[in-house]
Structure 1
């Protein structure tokens, strides 16, 4: 309950108490006089009747106060206007009427005056109530009108509202890292100031406020990010004469870390230096009077071409230095001098970056993952030189910082499993011919054709092959076993040579070798026999499997 309401209730209570006190006083007077009514004279009886009428009038006045004044105390709007005047008047009226009635000289006049006061108060209160009710109706109409206008404004300024909502969202969350990403997310966004976070949400430096060009005619310019700084307007170089004596640092409204991240995320960044001059050369007589520093503080002189500035012309000219080297940007400091008491003003443009740096479809490093938008430190799989590798990426560092990427090792990842094992159940004696096989024990991946005896590599990688069997000699002779592969050229790898001199009849033959194959290369087994054959049976087996797949 407010303080004003408490004051109004206290006023009402005081008035009510004063009225009750007056009535009690008159009752006591009446009781004292009733005992001696029979002994009173005619004049005393007349006064007694008027006292009783007065007490009745007090009761009516109290009822009126209760009926009319109590709602005013309870009503917040009306009580505000009456609390300062009416309650005070009523208190004075009630107390004065009650206290000065002991021996009035003219009771009838007082009664008439009291009735007049009663009528005046009643009329005043009724007029005040009507006035307040009128004000309430007007205020309600005004509120309704403002609500309708607000609805029209919200409907008619939808792009502005969207822009405000976007900026509030970007400042707090800033999930997008460049203006290019914002434009791709919603091409209808207008040009303006936006919040972006190039080094990643929740890590590194806070988001930065940049200007996004969304409405350019050239499609490749839409989504250009511009970083503002403190040297965009024309500034006078003064009158110092020594080369580079005027020096001004460029303070960008973004941290170095965020600027570096933006450049790395963009396809193309550029910045230029506009120099307005009159008899203030950039280069003259082999002396460089002006230069600029890159992000690493390295000095870069202005191009040595003959310009209006270098010709010491009395007419005002200009020179434009255009910097498009992402490695050097941004410009961090500029130097000029005025050796011939001329005039010079410089103006450095905003750093503008557009496009998205190209990344491989499959990331090859933590830097590729960062460019794609990853920003949580952890272990990732990347495409190595030949196969998948496991790396630890620390994205709260920049790609050029130490420990940004730590290599853990290779991953044994295969597109699908490839292995087989086949048997030769019958004798075979053909020379330099792939051995066909009679039974497939297992052929996962379907790369082995047992009927032709040829294995076709489905993927580029390293495979391992093994053959085991028995050679049967029919006299003195020998056996040459070959593991053959055909890609660009036929390769025969002699793996086994057996000579029989009559001491043995059966001889085991084994072939084992890893081969690095390209996808589509073929592998088989063949022999050169002299007085010998390959003994068929369950022990004649050719097997192979994929060891490592190269990607």
Structure 2
């Protein structure tokens, strides 16, 4: 505009100059003026275009600034704010060590953010959290955090009361629920990390039943898209509303007020608490032949912290605890510790590949006893008693009674070897578990002088093992001249670590 004014003034000056007495007279006509004005229009158009580009760039810069400000609370934690968690103190509270590094902290829930103690999460408000783990799965989600209670609220586009239009067929009216800056995977992860999640719903009806004569005219879709017909509580197998749970429906034989299907205003209120199916992703209504029906769906609200398993049984359990680094991990198997490879790339949809089991024992159990003298027993129920203890780790072998008592449930290896004394007749060395014969080895005075009895048995904690001679006329030979000739060993091969005692 300034350029146009300047040029107009210039034209006036030139025009007035034509009337001056000077000899020099510039040649100015209408053609010249038209050319100047055309050039002026081009210049003005270029200026306007540049202004539009500058305004667009400014809007982009402001948008980026807002995104950075939102992400700073999650992704950029200042070193000074984290030093308190990295300071160690001696008995006089004198600082003796400070780590110069600050870890990136991305809370999975509002409760985790609150409990971090960081000043960034002091006030209630909108925050970015990452339930399925930072750097894996889906991106962070934008939620409201109540920092007094640690409650996480996930909003959506259907929180206001919305009218249900008239239609006749089952589910003829549907409304998809759009949640703010989130995905189904992140919503499921939030529920898994929380002790409790719920979502309230109110349906005002004028007619418009949920279910009539076994036909479902209304239902809702859960986080996986599955159809659900319970409108309150946590039992997905029963069609019910809150009035049915509390037994105050307008008709005692119905579970929902709206199921009365009458042309008078009624309503059903519910609180869905089955967290593994939340949030609601779509509402569907039908047989709404009168005006006046409406629905109101509350936010997904989660609180508390889910109880982590004492011993993780899967890569998914490890993810719930907070592990996100791909690699090899020991987990609880049915009876033993197993080794698995975990791929956390997809968040809670963690991939697990079993490698094998880990030979873990709570304590070693093994013994080796000998006898330097010949042994015979008074009757078949009497155990063979050894007089030399070479090894008795775990203390399970009682050398005074000759009885081994299993201190742990698991698989044990036993081995006995000895020689029979000549001319003592035919006899057997018998292996007993809890007084029941489980095996034996034969010896006689003509052909079989060496007696061996190896065996492997599964024992429960407290089971008793002993050796005996049957019939009792036999004698096992040993003396100090030849050194001990009678040997009995035992060892715990595999312990059932997770056996419930």
TM-score normalised over the length of structure 2:
0.67
CA distance, structure 1, for counterparts of residue 166 and residue 406 of structure 2: 77
Which residue of structure 1 aligns with residue 192 of structure 2?
Answer: 264
Structure with the largest fraction of helix = 1
Is residue 494 of structure 2 the alignment partner of residue 540 of structure 1?
A: no
1:532 is paired with a residue whose SS is coil
The correspondence of residues 169-184 of structure 1 with structure 2, limited to 5 A, is 169-172=73-76, 173-184=104-115
Give the drift of 1:299.
2.7
Residue deviations 1:484-539, cap 9 Å, x none? Answer: 233xxx22223212244xx35x7111111012112233322211245431112422
Which residue of structure 1 aligns with residue 6 of structure 2?
Answer: none
Give the drift of 1:175.
3.0
Give the drift of 1:337.
4.7
CA distance, structure 1, for counterparts of residue 158 and residue 75 of structure 2: 25
Which residue of structure 1 aligns with residue 359 of structure 2?
Answer: 412
Which residue of structure 1 aligns with residue 153 of structure 2?
Answer: 226
The correspondence of residues 68-467 of structure 1 with structure 2, limited to 5 A, is 168-172=72-76, 173-186=104-117, 189-215=122-148, 222-253=149-180, 254-283=182-211, 288-301=216-229, 303=240, 305-307=255-257, 310-314=260-264, 316-337=265-286, 339-399=288-348, 401=349, 404-430=351-377, 431-432=379-380, 433-467=382-416
Distance change in 2, residues 1:338/1:541 (3 Å): closer
Residue deviations 1:321-355, cap 9 Å, x none? Answer: 43222343221111235743321221111112223
Distance change in 2, residues 1:410/1:279 (3 Å): closer
**What are structure 1's unaligned runs of at least 5 residues?**
1-164, 216-221
Give the drift of 1:460.
1.5
Give the drift of 1:239.
4.0
The correspondence of residues 9-48 of structure 1 with structure 2, limited to 5 A, is none
CA distance, structure 2, for counterparts of residue 470 and residue 338 of structure 1: 92
CA distance, structure 1, for counterparts of residue 331 and residue 105 of structure 2: 27
Structure whose alpha-carbon radius of gyration is higher: 1
Residue deviations 1:368-404, cap 9 Å, x none? Answer: 11111111111100111111100111112355x4x71
Greater RCO structure (CA 8 Å; 6+ sep): 2
Distance change in 2, residues 1:440/1:269 (3 Å): same
Residue deviations 1:98-145, cap 9 Å, x none? Answer: xxxxxxxxxxxxxxxxxxxxxxxxxxxxxxxxxxxxxxxxxxxxxxxx
CA contact (8 A) 2:420 2:474 kept: yes
1:408 is paired with a residue whose SS is strand
* Pairs aligned (count): 372
TM-score normalised over the length of structure 1:
0.61
CA distance, structure 2, for counterparts of residue 549 and residue 292 of structure 1: 49
CA contact (8 A) 1:280 1:342 kept: no
1:260 is paired with a residue whose SS is helix
Distance change in 2, residues 1:480/1:311 (3 Å): same
Which residue of structure 2 aligns with residue 518 of structure 1?
Answer: 460
Give the drift of 1:226.
1.6
1:375 is paired with a residue whose SS is coil
Distance change in 2, residues 1:341/1:448 (3 Å): closer
Structure 1 stretch displaced more, 172-181 or 532-541: 172-181
CA distance, structure 1, for counterparts of residue 280 and residue 370 of structure 2: 73
Distance change in 2, residues 1:296/1:541 (3 Å): same
Distance change in 2, residues 1:166/1:417 (3 Å): farther
Distance change in 2, residues 1:465/1:185 (3 Å): same
Distance change in 2, residues 1:342/1:521 (3 Å): same
CA contact (8 A) 1:421 1:440 kept: yes
CA distance, structure 2, for counterparts of residue 171 and residue 298 of structure 1: 35
Distance change in 2, residues 1:258/1:498 (3 Å): same
Q: Cα RMSD (Å) of the superposition?
A: 2.9
**What are structure 2's unaligned runs of at least 5 residues?**
1-68, 77-103, 232-239, 241-253
CA distance, structure 1, for counterparts of residue 403 and residue 276 of structure 2: 54
Structure 1 stretch displaced more, 301-310 or 536-545: 301-310
CA contact (8 A) 2:133 2:347 kept: no
Give the drift of 1:166.
11
CA distance, structure 1, for counterparts of residue 320 and residue 227 of structure 2: 30
CA contact (8 A) 1:268 1:355 kept: yes
